[in-house]
Chains A and B, each alone.
Chain A
Amino acid sequence: MIDVNALIGPYPFRHVPHPDPEILVRVLDREGLQSAWVGHLPSAFHRDPGAGNGELYKALEPFASRLRPVPVVRPDWPHWERSLHTAASAGAPAVRVYPPQWGLGPHDAGMRDLAIAAGEQGMATLLTVRFEDLRQRHPMDGAGDLAAAAIRDLARAGNAVRLVVTAAGREMIEEVHWSLTYEEQRRVFWDISWIWGPPEDHLAKLFRTVGAERFVFGTHWPMRLTQTPRANLDLLPDDVRGAVLADAATICSAATDRTVQRSQ
């Protein structure tokens, strides 16, 4: 199992204990996780993500077999294509984007271009609905949650697009999923870090309706308890217990296969 939603580095609005790659590797061992896609938490709040990406690549180097970098690429920044190329060269399985933090609206053309370009280079575009519960945010943290409309817009952008949406809840997932065609639905994967289990059983309901194959394992470490998604899976009712999540390792291979076919 791969944790698609891990980060390293401090968070600007509260203390996060030990957000370090060596600790993350120990957590992966404890939780029985094979590897993690790892972003750089402070970069979400930087204007220019370049320096943070550099720190990320360097910090993960000693743990390359377990921790794969997911750098930030900002499509309204000059030469973002070069950053994307660097990410691909570094073996990134995805790139992180933060439209609300950058003030980019849900129909931003640059975001669409980036999502398509990332998919064509074999990388998913990883979106974060929220870092913290809306009810606890710092007064200066005014970006707000990612809008469902922004996810829809990217999912409709083209065949090559692959989205991994983290920290979404049931309502947002349902809103986006049922607003897409079958083809578009297959471009979107949801991490389970922020979906509730019993007694409301949101995760079970989503597995029955949307399908477990649309979901991937994510913890939101170091912001949240790593134990939560596994606990959620363990508490599934019998009819969906044993449901198989999507294999994060193959998310983009389908997209790149299709891109190759299209270009031939």
Chain B
Amino acid sequence: MIDTRAVAPAAGPLIDAHAHFYHAGAGRSDWADVNAARFRAGEQMGITYHVASVLGSYGFSSPTYFPSPNDVTTGNDVMLALCVAEPERVRMFVTVNPNYTSHALAEIDRCVARGAIGIKLLASRRADDPLLDPIADVAAARGLPVLHHIWQHRRREWPSQEISDGADLARLADRHGGATFILAHIGGGGDYMHTFPAVADSPNIYPDLSGSGVDRGMLDSAIEALGTERLLWGSDLTMCTGLAKLRALDAIGLGELEIANMRWRNAVRIFPAGSFPRATAPGGVPA
């Protein structure tokens, strides 16, 4: 059912390139309410597709950013089931922990065979670590974008994660020119002004706009540094900030095509062909 309380600028399809869902094993009793709230807000905002991942048990039985193989598999099973239940609007990143190479590669095989369209890497290993190479190789070979959790400018270690920043991811991306990487949430903490120059010369890195940070000037700076062809709209854990960014994009004087690039065209371009059949320009013109 379409929510009639549309709140976002009406500008064609909208692909959320960074979403998450919860499940009963995530250690919170309101998990179903949170999932329902994502769909509710998504309807209001006009989200055509939620490209989502489940991060293991979200800390309940292993750490969110260092999920155990069992929790990785459980979370991926939840996402697979959600894709079956919501085929019109949910797409899946298969989550892996690169410390367990054979498990990670097997999970990618298993989930891609059942419809996963990308790979989610958390902060289980630094982005430029050689353990990520076999995963990046598979991503390149199969045309699967890798969404990598990122801290914007890593000045120190942060607890509960082996965090990477734009410079770390750029080293991985430069080693794997045939793979596509999505740099997570430029508004997700740290200094985005460090990220933009750090990845500017790595054309296979596409930052997403998600994150609770809504600094005025962040979007303008991202567009100035990278261009609208390199940015993806996303919401992550705060859909209100995602909506605010949509409205801000509308307010900063961009053209229709530039906005469409970030809303959906870039996503259609970097994910496997046919991932988003409902994402077409008005009149049914594909990206």
Q: Are the C-beta atoms of A231 and B244 separated by less than 8 Å?
A: yes
CA distance A172 to B243 in the complex (A): 24
Option from A132, A133, A136, A235 in Cβ contact (under 8 Å) with B240: A235
CA distance A222 to B218 in the complex (A): 12
Option from B33, B45, B212 in Cβ contact (under 8 Å) with A196: B212
**Nearest CB in chain B: distance from A27 CB, A:** 9
Option from A136, A198, A222 in Cβ contact (under 8 Å) with B191: A136
Known contacts: A200-B34, A201-B37. The answer to whether A231 contacts B213 by CB under 8 A is: no
Q: Are the C-beta atoms of A30 and B37 separated by less than 8 Å?
A: no
Q: Which residue among B214, B216, B245 has the maximum number of chain A CB atoms within 10 Å of its CB?
A: B216
- A118-157 residues at the B interface, CB under 8 angstroms: 132-133, 135-136, 139
Known contacts: A136-B189, A231-B244, A235-B7. The answer to whether A15 contacts B217 by CB under 8 A is: yes
Q: Are the C-beta atoms of B217 and A198 separated by less than 8 Å?
A: no
A225: interface (CB < 8 Å): yes
21 of the cross-chain contacts (CB-CB < 8 Å) are A17-B216, A17-B220, A133-B213, A135-B151, A135-B189, A135-B190, A136-B152, A136-B190, A136-B213, A197-B239, A199-B41, A200-B238, A201-B37, A224-B216, A225-B241, A227-B244, A228-B240, A232-B240, A235-B41, A235-B239, A237-B40
CA distance A100 to B213 in the complex (A): 22
Q: Which residue of A lies closest to B39 (CB)?
A: A199
Q: Are the C-beta atoms of A199 and B245 separated by less than 8 Å?
A: no
Interface size on B, residues (CB 8 A): 36
- A74-100 residues at the B interface, CB under 8 angstroms: none
CA distance A234 to B46 in the complex (A): 13
Q: Which 8 A-B pairs have the closest CB atoms?
A: A197-B240, A135-B189, A198-B41, A231-B243, A227-B244, A228-B244, A199-B37, A227-B247
Q: Which residue of A lies closest to B217 (CB)?
A: A17
Q: Are the C-beta atoms of A196 and B216 separated by less than 8 Å?
A: no
CA distance A62 to B41 in the complex (A): 41
A223: interface (CB < 8 Å): yes
Tally of A-B Cβ pairs under 8 angstroms = 102
A244: interface (CB < 8 Å): no
**Nearest CB in chain B: distance from A221 CB, A:** 7
B113: interface (CB < 8 Å): no
Q: Which residue of A lies closest to B218 (CB)?
A: A225
Q: Are the C-beta atoms of B237 and A231 separated by less than 8 Å?
A: no
Q: Are the C-beta atoms of A225 and B245 separated by less than 8 Å?
A: yes
Q: Which residue of A lies closest to B192 (CB)?
A: A136
- Interface of A, secondary structure class, is loop
A residues neighboring B (CB under 8 Å): 14-17, 30, 132-133, 135-136, 139, 196-201, 203, 221-228, 230-232, 234-235, 237, 241
Q: Are the C-beta atoms of A199 and B244 separated by less than 8 Å?
A: no
Q: Are the C-beta atoms of A231 and B40 separated by less than 8 Å?
A: no
B11: interface (CB < 8 Å): no
Chain B, 200-226, contact with A by CB distance < 8 Å: what is the 0/1 string?
000000000000111111001000000
Q: Are the C-beta atoms of A200 and B37 separated by less than 8 Å?
A: yes
CA distance A15 to B217 in the complex (A): 8
Option from B152, B190, B191, B241 in Cβ contact (under 8 Å) with A228: B241
Chain B, 21-61, contact with A by CB distance < 8 Å: what is the 0/1 string?
00000000000011101101100110000000000000000
Residues of B with C-beta under 8 A to A199: 34-35, 37-38, 41, 237, 239
Residues of B with C-beta under 8 A to A224: 214-216
A136-B189, A227-B243 given; 16 more Cβ-contact pairs under 8 Å: A14-B215, A17-B220, A132-B215, A135-B151, A136-B213, A196-B241, A197-B238, A198-B239, A198-B240, A200-B37, A221-B216, A225-B244, A230-B244, A235-B7, A235-B243, A241-B5
